[in-house]
Amino acid sequence: MSTQATDIASGGSLPIETAHDDMIHDAQLDYYGKRLATCSSDRTIKVFDVVDGQQQKSSPGQTLKGHSGPVWQVAWAHPKYGHILASCSYDGKVLIWKEDQQSQQGGTWLKMKEHSLHTASVNSVSWAPHELGAIVACASSDGKLSVLSFKNDGTWGADIFNGHGIGCNAVSWAPATVPGSLIIPSQTQPSQSQSASQPTQSTGTSNSVKRFASAGCDNLVKIWAFSDSQQAWMEEETLEGHTDWVRDVSWAPNIGLPRSYIATASQDRTVVIWTKDSPSSPWQKTSLEKFPDVVWRVSWSLAGNILAVSCGDGKVTLWKENLKGVWECVSEMVN
Amino acid sequence: MKRPGWSPSLTDTPETPYYTSSISSIVRTSGGDASLSEITEDEGAFGRPITVDMREHVHDATSNMSISPTNRDVVLAARNGLFIIDLESPNAVPRHLPQGGTWNVADVQWNPHISHWEYVVSTSNEKLLIWNLSLGGNTAIQTVLHKHYRAITDVNWHTHEPNVIASTGLDSWVWLWDIRVNAKPTMGLCAFNPGATQVKWNRHDPNVLASSHLNTVVLWDRRKGTVPLKTFRAHSAKIYGIDWGTMQNPSSLVTCSLDNSIKLWDTQSVIRSDTEDPTPINVINTSYPVWRARNTPFGKGVLALPQRSETTLEMWSWDLINQSPDAPPVAQFAGHKDIVKEYVWRVIGFDNGDPQEYQLITWTKDRMLRLWPIQRETIKGVSSESQRNSSPVRSKRKPTSAIYRPASFRDIPIFPEVGHTVGDMSVLLPSAEHRSASGDIRVKENEKVIRNTDPEKQSTSDVPSGDPLVIRASTMTRGGKTSSKVDLKPFTWLTSVRIGEAQADSGSGHGSVVQSRQTSRSRPGSVNVASRSAETSAQRDDSLRTEPADTQELLKEEIVNAINALSMYKLELENVDVDVSRTCTIGFQGDWSETSVYMRVTFQFPPAYPLSRNPSDSPDISLERNPLIPRDTRLFLLRTLRSIRDRRPCLEDCLRFLVGDQKYGRQQDSSDDESQERQGTKKAQLSVVRGQKNIPEFRNLQGYFGPNGEIICFFGAPKRFMRGRPMDASPPPMSAKSSNIDPTMFQTGHLSVAVRKLSEFANLHDPTFSLSSNIEADNVVRVMDQLLIGNRRRRATTGSRGREQEVSAQKGQSVLSIRDVAHLVAAEKRVAQVYIISTRNPSALCEENAAIARKHGRYDHERMFRVLQPLVANVAPQQDRYAAVRWGQFPMARQLIVKLYEELCGKKDLQLLAMMAVVLFQAEMLTPNLQAAHLSQPDPHQNPFLTAGRPVQSNPDYFGIRKLSESRQAGTEASWGSRTSDSPTSPVAPRSFTSSISSKSSWSSIINSSGVRLLMGGNQDRSKIDPASPTEQMPPERGALPSKQNTLEFRRSRNSISETSVSFLQPPVKSAAVPQVISRPRVTIPPSQPRRLTFSQAVTSKSSAVPTKRLVVDLDYDWDADTQPLPQSLMDEQMHKQCEAHIRAYAEMLPHWGLMHKRAELMKCIPKRARDDPWRFTRVIQILAFANATMYHMSPPLQM
């Protein structure tokens, strides 16, 4: 116990030097928390191994080059697809990288797919829940959203459609299970829905579980659902409430409760939590306290009970909903 | 004006231009002949075939077109309004007059009289819309005439009276209207037949009109009233079109029909004849149903328009047909890609009233407008012999005098104020803004660049400039601009117009006017000669016209390409005039001052551009004056532009330079220019990134959750400059607060940190627990270690503080840290690893997991398990020593569970929710029957506690009461522990109550509230039998334990029990059964007893239970399934589902921690349903994963 002086379990934090030449824009841990991918304005992406919060000295990070502009976000895919990383950048491209796993040491990252359907900076990229397949959604400043899916026959299909007029800032997928039901979508058996005790499954779009939320420069958050009948993405709902660009949206993971949560961060210095008590009820909004500066990012913990809010005043605060339904700040982190 | 019938008409064609002086006052008078000739030669696109692609602008198919009497504009009618295209500047954006409507337009016609040239009539189902193009305001519709009760199919302006319209429709009525009288039509004529298709006024006699109904033609004279002159059957199938003859034969009528024929009739003879089936003068048989057949404005020909399937228009000469009925058409217009919906003739250039040249304008179904020049040979072909020789069409177009150049309705005509001389105002006002018809903003350059702004030249395509008053008037009289739904950007329009498109068919370079068609029965001789000569002449014509056409097209292409190439920079093509003045204005965002500035640049291309590489043919470039740009920068820009523009093509390069595109980097004159440019471009690039209005300001600070309860965060460049703050390789957390230079103070900071951490650890897991001092001791040690280490480092770096500071400030932006907040996140990996999931016995599960939780310091988990345990304690498989008992005995169980569940839901602790679900499911699975019958069952285990020789418990002690009593004893775990060893049957429930009470859980709240009463009351029933049956050695301490406090409580509650027992919904127990139980282990409770318990019974039971002191427990139960009371299900349906969902969600979380085997165990806990396991494919390799330390060798099943 005494040797764990610098271990993160004690609450300490060790800085990891990424050696980027320019500002870092995103850092994501992979599914197991063992690998870290960072991306920066220096147009590169770096991948490190981390153990217990420390960068492993044995394996230095790998650098992935391929973008011609600052890279805004990276996203790890579910490990069942292999070691896949998606990145999006100012140059309008979304790149999908795959690691060659020939040897433990010599794993190299190769660009597997380049997606350049957008005509302006792609601001955000997000993988869908793995039950839906290998699908990635991208939001771009050309006002469009695109959904790339890797099909069973090895090709990539792309759907691109207008999202928010001036530009789209973020996308976040809904969890694959519809809260309150036991439908778990499966790629091969779409009609897996349990006959036993499916309660109020309203027909129509609430049945479709391919759903994501997008945040745009038109101050709106829109929820998109894939309609099987029309084989296209349809705008399902619009959440209004922000008075400036919505910078980030994050859909809380589903832990089995019937309630859904979406958190949105906006340049109007507020974070709004949208809750929906059941698939058929409307979204209700709750705001957290006003922040001193623009809010850039919101992130839910894996169990969906804590929300990390990254604000422009240099602090990352953690919020939790108490039993009365009020969100309170439980922790604060600064540099 | 009235004329006697059948006198020769004044004019040849219905579209004779007829200019009035008032109109010409609007027209710009041009400076001199030189400019005029310039205009006429490369005029609009008269000589060349033009293709205008309207597809992007007109979204639904329009099928109607009409030409203005001045032959300058063409109007296209669509559902959403009218489009007016200026034929002389087809590259200019058309004017759109909106119309809200959902009806397809059946017909549109421009008033053919110059005096009323602002009127256009169109149809909207059964209404007539009279448009006045000079109207301002929201809409240009002046009147709506409504008399038809079915859809209108045709309208026709009167050939002599400019205010009269005839309309007809499917209701077979013909209504005559005077637009000066809005309310009612002047006359109505009805044919009482099936609906009409066409109505046409005679070109000569103002009183005669004809209408076609199905396959009959009806001739009317409006003086005669509603009785027609003649009705005759003209065709065998539906007549589609009729047309009166021109001057040569004004009483002739051409009809065309579905029956593939065009017939020429002499109406005078038809009227005079008696028969209903007269014979036509001439018949042309075609191979297709003819949609329209009209007389040509020249000669004696007819141009037929096929209805469908054919895309070629054919022109016949009546004379030839006269000679031989199978004569081939004189000319064909092929090359349309789709069927032609409408055509009009355009005449240009009048020399003393003689038309000089003709043009055919066709509108096809694929929304393309095409202009076909008519060759002289064609005209000759349809002219009669006499005509050919007598009045040849002039070979060379003479320049028309300015007075005949009409204005275009593409722009809103401005009626100038009195006193202002229109024109030349632009000279006075340097940079006046005005809006042209399409709503573009054009900024006039100052007088330096007068060449651009020649108002005369531009007069044809824009409103008078320069006069602010007029401008304001123009904005007010903008017709329908604001409500325009059509987005007509100049750039889009520019790409829609194509001039001189090479057609497929014929050999000639332009157009495909095929002179003749070889048929077997043709007359080869003359026709061939005609064709050959036509071809050669066409080629000759081509060569004359190639140059101007190409440069125009080239210029247009260049502009289009440049804009496309730089689409990333969002250039705005504000104004472009490719045809006449060859200028274009482009707006862009450039970073030439501190912020990015929106600027405009105007290029004026000389005529020889881009073919000539002569520097004198480079475009003139002018930049709009902008106060934000310093003078030096402006000069620099202009200088550089001047050097760039000599390249061919130069537009794109100039634009690239202006927007600061980094790709621009060509050879420069001097090196300092270059470096300056590089800097400029780099700066420009960055600012483009920032200045792009749609790119959000990028973040450099973020905290994002990882899968194991850690947050990975980076904070970008530090916002505050922390002076003197020593940067360290591993600063302790919260060190930002200790921004002091003094090392001693820094140590103080450390101390404060240490203290803070201590308190943190105190609150770490269980807010109420404060007893585990040993754990805290560990933490203190940890903190102290860190302090020491930190101190050592501090000393080492004091000297190099300054240097490090600087270095790390720069480095700061690339550093991130991973911080652990697992204590907040609540779900923890290390306990997840060790929690037991699958045991047979849920209560044992609870116990073991509680112990594990305690060991790991998760007191909240422990509490949950402890609470849960007694609730499930009585469920056990038969083999077990715990005899199976039914749920219903403990009715509170359900409520407790619900309460506990709700609390966990509120905390959103997935781990605990899932564990609880596991426990509950297991419990459920073990109960043999799950029916919701209520029951009560004595609990032999609980019995030992019930009457344990306590004086307090004269009242039969229930499980709950006993628990209460024990629970109020604090810190007695040890004693309990020993006790449990003594009494194997006693569950560990008491202990759980101890901790639960102390932890202020909902349990205590239940206990302290009225729920206690219920508890008491409920259990009271059951315990009637209890006192006697079980036997157990009660530990002696038990009697000594209850405190005063408990006694009091009990008494109080006891009292309350008696009050509430009646109301409690528990199945009664017959008091008679009490004594039986004592002897027999079996307890039978008839389930169908009335629920209510009488007070007397309660009292009785009380009294009977009191004296019992000893309990006997017989462990060898022999439960008979029949006599077993039916168990009550523990969870309701909703909760059941949710619990399953919790398990699944937790099962999704486990793989993040690599606990695949745990997950497998977990999934087995879900009761039997079809389990869709998305991870099923990984089962095969789960063992591998389990064995292998790292997870990265899992071979993904999905090969990508």
For testing contact with chain A, the best of B589, B661, B715 (most A CBs within 10 A): B715
d(CA B889, CA B1066): 9
pTM given for the model = 0.43
Nearest CA among B1017, B1040, B1039, B1175 for reference residue B1101: B1017
Range with the lowest mean pLDDT among B13-17, B31-35, B354-358, B595-599? B31-35
Range with the lowest mean pLDDT among A202-211, B414-423, B734-743? B734-743
Q: Which residues of B568-587 are buried (b: 16+ CB within 10 A; e: fewer)?
A: bbebbbbbbbbbbbbbbbbb
d(CA B728, CA A17): 12
DSSP code of residue B576: E
Number of inter-chain CB pairs under 8 A, A vs B: 337
Residue A308's beta-bridge partner residues? A299, A318
pLDDT at site A126:
94
B930 touches chain A (CB under 8 A): no
Task: Calculate the average pLDDT of chain B.
Answer: 62
d(CA A16, CA A310): 19
Most confident of A319-333, B545-559, B671-685, B1098-1112: A319-333
pLDDT at site A77:
92
- Answer whether residue B626 is part of any domain: yes
- Please tell me which of the candidates B696, B706, B733 has its beta carbon nearest to residue A11: B733
Instruction: Name residues 822-881 of chain B within 8 A of A (Cβ).
Output: 822, 824-827
Q: pLDDT digits over B794-819, tens only? A: 444 443 343 444 344 444 567 777 77
Final residue before a domain boundary, out of B663, B683, B702: B663
Q: pLDDT digits over B92-145, tens only? A: 777 778 777 778 888 899 888 888 888 899 888 888 889 888 876 677 788 888
Q: What is the value of ipTM here, to two decimals?
A: 0.84
pLDDT at site B283:
87
- Answer whether residue B566 is part of any domain: yes
Integer CA distances (angstroms), A326 to A273, A282, B594, in order: 11, 19, 45
Q: Which amino acid is at B247?
A: M
- Answer whether residue B284 is part of any domain: no
Over 80: is that where the pLDDT of B899 sits?
Answer: yes
Q: Look at B868 and A329; give whichever has higher pLDDT.
A: A329
Q: pLDDT digits over B2-28, tens only? A: 545 454 444 444 433 333 333 333 333
pLDDT at site B981:
38
Chain A environment of B1153 (Cβ under 8 Å): 32
Integer CA distances (angstroms), B266 to B215, B235, B641, in order: 17, 15, 70
Counted domains in chain B: 2
Would the CB atoms of B709 and A302 count as touching at under 8 Å? yes
Q: Look at B131 and B829; give whichever has higher pLDDT.
A: B131
Which residues have CB under 8 Å from B1196's CB, separation 6+? A79, A80, A81, A82
As a whole number, mean pLDDT of residues B181-192 equals: 84
CATH number at residue B638: 3.10.110
Q: pLDDT digits over B671-696, tens only? A: 444 444 444 444 444 434 444 445 66
B343 φ/ψ angles, rounded to the nearest 5 degrees: -145, 155
Q: Is the dihedral of CA A44, A49, A53, A57 positive or negative?
A: negative
Final residue before a domain boundary, out of B606, B638, B663: B663
Which residues have CB under 8 Å from B1171's CB, separation 6+? B1163
Helix (H, G, I), strand (E, B) or coil at B1013: helix
Over 60: is that where the pLDDT of B228 sits?
Answer: yes
If pLDDT is split at 50, 70 and 90, which confidence band does B492 have? low
Percent of chain B with pLDDT over 90: 4
- Answer whether residue B897 is part of any domain: yes
Q: Look at A157 and B975; give whichever has higher pLDDT.
A: A157
Q: Look at B840 and B34; give whichever has higher pLDDT.
A: B840
B1152 touches chain A (CB under 8 A): yes
- Answer whether residue B504 is part of any domain: no
Min Cα–Cα distance to chain A from B457, Å = 38
B693 touches chain A (CB under 8 A): yes
Could you tell me where the DSSP H helices lie in B733-858?
Answer: 743-762, 773-797, 801-811, 822-825, 829-834, 842-855
- Answer whether residue B633 is part of any domain: yes
pLDDT at site B1087:
43
Helix (H, G, I), strand (E, B) or coil at B1055: helix
- Answer whether residue B895 is part of any domain: yes
As a whole number, mean pLDDT of residues B39-67 equals: 60
Q: Look at B890 and A211; give whichever has higher pLDDT.
A: A211
Over 70: is that where the pLDDT of B1112 sits?
Answer: no
Residue B595: exposed, middle, or buried by beta-carbon count in 10 A (0-12, 13-18, 19+)? Answer: exposed
pLDDT at site B424:
39
B705 φ/ψ angles, rounded to the nearest 5 degrees: -75, 140
Chain B environment of A246 (Cβ under 8 Å): none
- Please tell me which of the candidates A6, A27, A304 has its beta carbon nearest to residue B714: A27
If pLDDT is split at 50, 70 and 90, which confidence band does B313 have? confident
Chain A environment of B1149 (Cβ under 8 Å): 302-303
Q: Look at B228 and B324; give whichever has higher pLDDT.
A: B228
Interstrand relation of A62-65 and A84-89 (parallel, antiparallel or unpaired): unpaired
Q: pLDDT digits over B1033-1088, tens only? A: 333 334 333 344 444 443 444 444 444 433 333 444 444 433 433 444 444 444 44
pLDDT at site B1145:
83
Q: pLDDT digits over B388-399, tens only? A: 544 444 444 444
Over 50: is that where the pLDDT of B1103 sits?
Answer: no
pLDDT at site B554:
77
Residue A135's beta-bridge partner residues? A149
- Answer whether residue B1173 is part of any domain: yes
Q: Which amino acid is at B595?
A: T
Tokens for B1062, please give them.
Answer: 């009646």
Tokens for B834, please give them.
Answer: 């060790």
pLDDT in tens for each of the 335 residues of chain A?
333 333 344 445 667 777 888 888 999 998 888 888 999 888 899 998 887 766 666 667 788 888 998 999 999 999 888 889 999 999 999 999 998 876 555 578 888 889 988 988 999 999 998 888 899 999 999 889 999 998 878 788 898 998 888 889 999 999 887 665 554 444 333 333 333 333 333 333 344 478 999 999 888 999 999 888 888 898 988 999 888 889 999 999 888 788 889 999 998 899 999 998 888 889 999 888 889 988 999 999 887 788 999 988 888 899 988 888 889 898 888 87
- Please tell me which of the candidates B816, B817, B1196 has its beta carbon nearest to residue A81: B1196
pLDDT at site A182:
53
If pLDDT is split at 50, 70 and 90, which confidence band does B821 have? confident
Q: pLDDT digits over A182-226, tens only? A: 544 443 333 333 333 333 333 333 444 789 999 998 889 999 998
Q: pLDDT digits over B742-757, tens only? A: 344 334 445 555 555 5
Percent of chain B with pLDDT over 70: 46
Would the CB atoms of A192 and B692 count as touching at under 8 Å? no
- Please tell me which of the candidates A31, A32, A167 has its beta carbon nearest to residue B694: A167
Three-state DSSP string of B551-564: HHHHHHHHHHHHHH
Would the CB atoms of A31 and B707 count as touching at under 8 Å? yes
Final residue before a domain boundary, out of B603, B635, B663: B663
Q: What domain range includes position B915? A: 826-876+886-926+1132-1191
- Please tell me which of the candidates B731, B1152, B1174 has its beta carbon nearest to residue A33: B1152
Min Cα–Cα distance to chain B from A333, Å = 8
